[in-house]
Structure formats: C-alpha cells, structure tokens
A and B are shown apart, each in its own frame.
Chain A
Amino acid sequence: MRVKIAAGLLALAALGSTALLPDRAALRVAADNEVLVALDRVRCVEDALPETADLIGYAAPEGPLREETGRQREFYLLRNALAPRLVVELPAEVLAEDLPPVPWLIASYTGRQAGLDDLNGADWTVVKDCENGMFLLHRPEDR
C-alpha cells in the first residue's frame, strides 16, 4: 500500500507538471523563426560560389562573434548551408589584410548600406551583393 500511495502521488505530480502546454498556435511554424530567417539570408551566397571554393572565410565586421548569439547562429548556419565546403571564422581585420588566409570571404553586416560603406575602397571584389547585408567577396591569393 505504501508503494501505491507514493506512486500515485508521484504520478499526480508528473501530470501536474505535464499540463504546462504550449497553446494551439504552437503547432504552426512561426513565420519569424529566427533559424529559418537566418538560413534564408545565408543561402543567398550559395549559388554564387564556384565548385573550386572549398575554404571560405566568414567575418562579421560589426561586432565580435562570440558576444552575439545572432552572429554565431548565422556563422553555424552558413557552415551548414555550404557543407561540404568549410567555412572558418575570421576577424574583421581580414578585410584590410595584404595576404588574407582565404581567397573567398563572406562579409555579414546588419544592413546593405553599412556593408557598402565598409567595403568601399577595400581590396576585395564583390562577387555577390545579397542586398540583405551579406556579401560574397573574392581576392585571388596571388594578387
């Protein structure tokens, strides 16, 4: 009987906690799902990359990646979208380097104009302007 009483009480506690349900709207895909929105944004560069581009840099010149969940999410989604190409995270200073470690770079800005202003005069060729703040840049290694 002791076991039954204890089991019954525990089962009631379990059901009490189970009743914390999301509302019915939760069964629909949220239109503003952050991951899907970010994935849409990064997929823009996918088609513009040639087959030979196997190592690609990613830089978010407007802030350190580590401190910003949104940027991190974008970086990892970009990795996901571009696999089996490898994407590596680079500091914003890569834009000004004479000998960048990668010939292809994806630069991510919060808006298109911010990117155009920052890239103005940079030694990289804009291969694709996604018009959402993402830019695919190229700079041959022997340049």
Chain B
Amino acid sequence: MAAALTLLLALLLPVLIGLAAVALFAGRQGRCRRADFWTLAWAAPGLGMGFSSVLFFLWSLVFYPRFAPGLYIGLEVLVLLGLSAAASASAAVRLPVELAQPGLIETLKQAARKRIFTALLALAFAASAAFFAYRFLAFTAQNPLGGWDAWAIWNYKARFLLEGDPVTWKRVFAPQATHPDYPFLLSGFIARCWVLIGKDRAAVPALTAALFSFSTVGLLTAAVTRLRGLNLGLLAGTLLMSLPVFTWTAASQYADLPLAFYFLAALVCILLYFNENRRSLYLPAAGIAAGFALWTKNEGTSFALAAGITLAAVLFAAPGKWKPLPFYESKSARIRPLLLFAAGLLPALLLYAAFKGWMVPPTDLFNRREPADYLLLAGDPNRWRLIAQAVWDQFLHWGGWRIPFLPALGVFLLAAGPRLPRESRAGVLAAGGILALTYAQYMAIYLITPHDLAWHMQTSIGRLYNQLLPGALLVLMCLIRKED
C-alpha cells in the first residue's frame, strides 16, 4: 500500500511540474493565453517527466540516487513551487476571456450542441481510444517487461541506479554495458520511480509508457483542434490511435514514444509561436522539448539540429509569401527568436555534450572509420538503391492498417484540398521543414552506417517513422483548410 501511494506521488509530481511549466509558457500576454494553456496542458505529463528525469540524473551524479529519497522529493517540490510562483507572477496581466479562442474542452462543449458530423467523429475518436487502450493492456499483460529494447536497454540501464552503489551504478556508462552512449531520459525516469518506491516494479515502465501515450494523443488532438478546428483534431487523434505501430511502440515501452512526444511538443510550440500571437516563451518551450528529445535518444540530435537550421532559414530566407507575419523589421528582431529557442535547448545540450564528451564511449555509428571511409560509403550507388527500396517499402506497407496508410494520407490531402492561409505559412513551413530535415538526416545516417546496411535498416527504419508520426500528422492537418 505504501509503495502504491509512493508510486502515485512519484507519477503525480511530474504531472504537476509539467502543468506549472505550461502555465508559465502560456501565461501573461496574448489574446490566446487561455486556449493555449488548455492545448499545452496535455503535454504536461511528458514535459514534467522530462524535468524530473533530468533533475534525478543530476542528483544521482552528485549524491547517488538512493541517498535520502525524501530529500530528493523535497527538491522536486521546490521546483514545482518555483515554477508555480513564476507562472502565477507571469499570469498577473489578465485578459478578458472573450478574447481568447476556445481550447479543446470548450470547443467540444460547443460542438456537442450543434454538430452531428463532429459528434460522429467524436464517436470514432472514442472507439479508437477504447481499442487503443485494450490493445495496450493486452500487449502489456502478455509482455509485462515490455518489448526487447525495453528490458535489453532502457529498463536495464535503470536497474544500475536502483541496484548499484555510489561506484557501481556508473558502470552503466562502461563500454561493456549495452549501448552505454544512449541518453538517459527514459531510463532515468524509470530509475527515479524505482528508487522512490524502493523496488523494480514492472508497472513503472508500463505506466510511464501509458502517460507518454496519453500526452502524445492529447497534445496532437488539442493542437490540431486549436490550429485547424475540432473535426481535424479528432481525426488526427483517431488516426494516431488506430495505427498498430503506435500501439506497439507505446506498449513495448520503447524510447521512440517519448522521443515522438518531444518532437511533437516542440513542433506545437513553434506552430503556436508563428501562427498567431508570437508569444516569446513558446520558443524556449520548443527548445526545452527539443532538449528533452536530445536527452531521450541520439536521434534527438538530428531533430535539434534540424530545428535550429529550419528556424534560421524561415526567419532569414523564407521566400516572399512564406515570410513570417507580421514581418520582422530588423535583423536583431529575427535573431531574437533563434536565441530564445537556443536558450531553451541549451541546458539539455550542455548535459548531452558533457555526457558524450566525458562519461560514455563514442556511439557505434562514428567510432570505426576514417572520414574518407564515410565518403566512400556515401558514394556507393548500391547503398542509395537499397535505401530507396526501403523507403518505397515503408511508403507502401508502414503503419499496419488494412490499406496502405501513407498513400491513404496522400489521397486524403488531395481530396480535402490543401489550403494554407497566409498567416499560417511560416509556422507550417518551419514545422514541415524540421521534420523533412530530420528525416533526411536519418537517411544520411543509413548511407554511412558502419553496420550491415540491410540489417541496420530492417531493425530500425520502422521505428524512425514511428518517431516522426505524431509530428507529421500535426503538419499534415495544418495543410488542410481551417474550419469556420
């Protein structure tokens, strides 16, 4: 009973920290404050788990994890109080509610009163959610320890913090450990909960996966509702939950789900920033989410790099009708958003750099060859052909639907008719560009991988698509005309 209550507290605290952070990001000025809060509130569990995991890792480095867990809880409570105080101070300038656009819950209430089509979509969403929950539970019941990577990598790393002593837990970074260079967000959060309850309960990784699933579906639905209306919001959530690959990623307790969530959260913040109100705190929030992605998996570096490059391109080099509105008059005004994004990214970037530079051996992708070898690999036409073939196969078969999912999305886009209002273009260009550049980097890594290419792609390409899925659905829905 005591362990259950401690676990409840261990999961509740990050959610509260996430909510306080969201209140800070969305607070103070701008006519859409309230609606933005209710959009970003769905991201609170995921963001909060990121904050807690980073805090616990730093605490472990200094004090070793099992040293006075009560004191550690006190530290998280202090963070919560600090964020709440900052959010409360920033919300001091209150705006009339009628100026705010409705958030997801308010929109649902309005829609329930007058729209039959929306009600049908809501039913589809509810059915999809019920089936998703059933399949998640079924997979978890059959595989209590999650999928292969969960027990071979992510939960394995967490056990070092639970079972080790001040010296032995750091063996997790030794070359003989499994993928010692993999970042620590997911393992760190699971270890934090295990240390707080004092044992390695299989329920912890499963609940963590459930919270990330909830956060991802909720944020996608709410963000598309906010940007393109409730019908498309419900459709986006329905699509995500209907995909067997999403259920599998979530229930397998893989780090690809948290990564997909942080990609999505960063893109939502960037879209909200460009779309309407230019609330400056959205960019550090996007940077924080990109930083958490960095601390979740090595693929996060591709995303963070893509985000920096694309933001700079949109701010400085977007062609005529794609320039942000209102247009930035001066160069310094255009640099400021970049600096804000970098400010949010910086803490995780420093942690990641220190981790990679001093704590772990180099990643297996870059420690085997001379630069000339990579050029040779990249110039091999056979590798290009293999990658193109794999991309085509994914296009036709990825997703697990009865009909090909990606072609179906293409047909939907053409049938619905893409239409981007002028004020939305810069945001969609930025979000779409970030995803495209991230994807291009993924494929470039395949080109130079020192592993057997066929084996490498076979074991990972589907998961790369899973990582980009929620963000891609967000961008796709933003290409559709906004409802009245």
- B171 adjacent to A84 (CB under 8 Å): yes
- A3 adjacent to B416 (CB under 8 Å): yes
Q: Is the interface of A mostly helix, strand, loop or mixed?
A: helix
Annotate B413-431 by CB proximity to A: 1 below 8 A, 0 otherwise. 0011100000000000000
Q: Given known contacts A27-B141, A84-B169, is B156 in contact with A14 (CB within 8 Å)?
A: no
Contacting residue for B401 out of A13, A27, A29, A77, CB 8 A: A13
Closest to B242 in A: A14
Chain B contact-residue range equals: 35 or more
Query: In the complex, A86 Cα to B163 Cα: how many Å?
Result: 12
B138 at the interface (CB under 8 A from A): yes
Chain A contact-residue range equals: 35 or more
Contacting residue for A10 out of B145, B163, B165, B412, CB 8 A: B412
A17-B400, A76-B178 given. 18 additional CB < 8 A pairs? A7-B232, A15-B238, A18-B128, A20-B402, A21-B135, A22-B135, A27-B138, A29-B144, A39-B145, A54-B168, A76-B151, A77-B152, A79-B152, A79-B178, A80-B151, A83-B172, A86-B174, A86-B177
B361 at the interface (CB under 8 A from A): no
Q: Which residues of B contact A77 (CB under 8 A)?
A: 151-152
Q: Which residues of B contact A30 (CB under 8 A)?
A: 142
- B171 adjacent to A54 (CB under 8 Å): yes
The 10 closest A-B pairs by CB, nearest first: A14-B242, A84-B164, A76-B152, A26-B138, A6-B415, A83-B159, A17-B401, A6-B416, A84-B168, A18-B242
B272 at the interface (CB under 8 A from A): no
Distance in angstroms from B275 CB to nearest chain A CB is 19
Distance in angstroms from A88 CB to nearest chain B CB is 5
Q: Which residues of A contact B408 (CB under 8 A)?
A: 10, 13
Q: Given known contacts A86-B171, A86-B174, is B127 in contact with A18 (CB within 8 Å)?
A: yes
Contacting residue for B128 out of A15, A35, A88, CB 8 A: A15
Closest to B161 in A: A84
Distance in angstroms from B32 CB to nearest chain A CB is 23
Annotate A7-44 by CB proximity to B: 1 below 8 A, 0 otherwise. 11111111111111110001111100101100100000
